[in-house]
Structure 1
Amino acid sequence: MLTISRKEFAVALLVSIGATTFLVLSYAAVDYAILRHLPKQAYLRISDNITPIVILFSAITAGTLAMFNMESARRTARLQETLRVINNSELDREFIKARSAWSQYKGNGDIEYDEDLAAVIAIILLKTIASSLERKALQIEHVDVDKKERLNEEVENLRDISKDTELLRRELQDGIFVITYLNSFELIAIGINKKIIDEEMYRQWHEGHFINVWNCSVAAVGVLRYVKKNKRLFKQWERVARQWSGEKGETIAVVPQYNSRQLAKITIDYHATKKALRREREN
């Protein structure tokens, strides 16, 4: 879609009006000269040649005005949609729940990732991770018996964790909220790239938060990309965050590259910590 700035529209409009005015005045001057010095028949012939030109430039002026009005309407729609998005982020109850769930597990944006968020996402995807480990165990040759036994042990641990729904009940619910929250930023980035959301206005209100959420969520993004086997997940969000940070001379956090064994360890360690905390409370 052709997009033209307001300044470009104004310049085009002024040029069209100026050109049309010049032609109309020239036409009037020619008419005056013709009326005074030429026969009426010649006047009609010259007049017929000039009239289409004036009509053409009048049409250009009208078209420019119409394009300007269309662009203004599109910009108004973008601003309204941006206001709606910002308003939802402040008032929508489900969005607030999702943000609250995310804030409990988020990382700190440093290179050393806080893996609680990764664990929460991994917990709701335990079956997929366990299946991946099981396939790896089946592919190992019999000569590496120890490694195969370790993998099988990790698979059993993950299956035991998946049955402990009482201990991990909150994580199973919060994980869905976290994914919903992350998806909202990807949708916003898509809206910005598609010119549905006004980038300038959104940046004025939410730029810092937009980038900070990315930096604190890369662990969760890494888990989802690995488990879903899709490296393009949240790419629009990542691209916009990198662009905005780059304009300020900053960098964004890099998404960690996980594998099934790493995710298994993160999940098992998280579950062990939760069990220890429960025992402390019971004592």
Structure 2
Amino acid sequence: MGWQFYITPAVAVVSALVALRALFSARELARKKSTIDLIEKTESTPNYRDLNAAFSEVRRSGAGFAGLLDDPPSDTRRRQINDYLNHYELIALGIRRGVLDESFYRAWMGKSFVRDWNEAAPWIEQERWRKQPDGSWKYHPSVFEHYERMACRWSREAIRLRDRPRVPPAEAQPITAGDDPLPALRRGDPGAP
């Protein structure tokens, strides 16, 4: 047996490696294209611009997100804030599942992503509490969990709700039709009165 015997397997291995590299490159390009398409599509739609404007208005207001706690759940502003935060949750989930490109999105929106999380985190914590039929409170950490995880991974300054003590809300709040009452913000939370 001569050296010619080894050429065919070597060529096959090299061909397989080249094919794998091409496959991974194509997947990476597709992820980046999906990320660019999502950013372009959402930021150019009137609906997203309205949601962004509503979120920014609440964020910059003196009352902040604490002012939303007194609004009825059907209030347009509360729904807009929730829809805006759901956009971030979708982004975080897409990144986690490998559908979107994390490094590209982080370079484009990383600071805003974390800033908006920190501003809304106390309100999100209130949204996680749900009153049970027996009158007790249950905390649902899955509400915006992907958004929280991503923001905390991207910045040491991100508020970690999972590290805070979970204190059930006061029982004195009335139940609003269609939603659970929201507990009061804790003293010292951003946006707390």
* Structure 2: 5+ residue stretches without partners: 131-137, 175-180, 185-193
Q: Give the structure 2 partner of residue 115 of structure 1.
A: 66
Residue identity opposite 1:189 in structure 2: A
What is the alpha-carbon distance in structure 1 between the residues aligned to residue 168 and residue 105 of structure 2?
A: 36
Q: CA RMSD in A?
A: 3.0
Q: 1:99 to 1:119 in 2, by over 3 A?
A: farther
Alignment deviations for residues 81-103 of structure 1 (CA, whole Å, 9 cap, x no partner): 11112213421121112222222
Alignment deviations for residues 18-52 of structure 1 (CA, whole Å, 9 cap, x no partner): xxxxxxxxxxxxxxxxxxxxxxxxxxxx24xx444
Residue identity opposite 2:67 in structure 1: D
Q: 1:91 to 1:52 in 2, by over 3 A?
A: same
Q: Give the structure 1 partner of residue 142 of structure 2.
A: 232
Q: 1:113 to 1:180 in 2, by over 3 A?
A: closer
Alignment deviations for residues 50-95 of structure 1 (CA, whole Å, 9 cap, x no partner): 4442111101110111011111111111111111122134211211
Give the superposition deviation at 1:113. Answer: 7.3
Instruction: Answer yes or no: is the 8 Å Cα contact 1:245–1:252 preserved in 2.
Output: yes
What is the alpha-carbon distance in structure 2 between the residues aligned to residue 117 and residue 172 of structure 1?
A: 9
Q: Give the structure 2 partner of residue 264 of structure 1.
A: 173
Instruction: Answer yes or no: is the 8 Å Cα contact 1:81–1:197 preserved in 2.
Output: yes
Alignment deviations for residues 125-179 of structure 1 (CA, whole Å, 9 cap, x no partner): xxxxxxxxxxxxxxxxxxxxxxxxxxxxxxxxxxxxxxxxxxxxxx712222211
Given candidates 121, 130, 138, the residue that maps to 1:218 is: 121
Task: Tell which structure's C-alpha radius of gyration is larger.
Answer: 1
Instruction: Answer yes or no: is the 8 Å Cα contact 2:118–2:158 preserved in 1.
Output: yes
Alignment deviations for residues 194-244 of structure 1 (CA, whole Å, 9 cap, x no partner): 222111111111111000110111122112211274112212211111121
What is the alpha-carbon distance in structure 2 between the residues aligned to residue 244 and residue 222 of structure 1?
A: 20
Given candidates 207, 212, 216, the residue that maps to 2:110 is: 207
Q: What pairs up with 1:18-97 in 2 under 5 angstroms?
A: 46-47=1-2, 50-97=3-50
What is the alpha-carbon distance in structure 1 between the residues aligned to residue 75 and residue 26 of structure 2?
A: 44
Q: Give the structure 1 partner of residue 92 of structure 2.
A: 189
Instruction: Answer yes or no: is the 8 Å Cα contact 2:94–2:100 preserved in 1.
Output: yes
Runs of 4+ more than 3 Å apart: 117-120, 254-260
Higher helix share: 1
Alignment TM-score, normalising by the size of structure 1? 0.52
Instruction: Answer yes or no: is the 8 Å Cα contact 2:43–2:49 preserved in 1.
Output: yes
Instruction: Answer yes or no: is the 8 Å Cα contact 1:82–1:201 preserved in 2.
Output: yes
Given candidates 176, 180, 193, the residue that maps to 2:83 is: 180
What is the alpha-carbon distance in structure 2 between the residues aligned to residue 107 and residue 233 of structure 1?
A: 24
What is the alpha-carbon distance in structure 1 between the residues aligned to residue 64 and residue 51 of structure 2?
A: 21
Instruction: Answer yes or no: is the 8 Å Cα contact 1:242–1:252 preserved in 2.
Output: yes
Residue identity opposite 1:62 in structure 2: S
Give the superposition deviation at 1:107. Answer: 7.0
What is the alpha-carbon distance in structure 1 between the residues aligned to residue 75 and residue 86 of structure 2?
A: 17
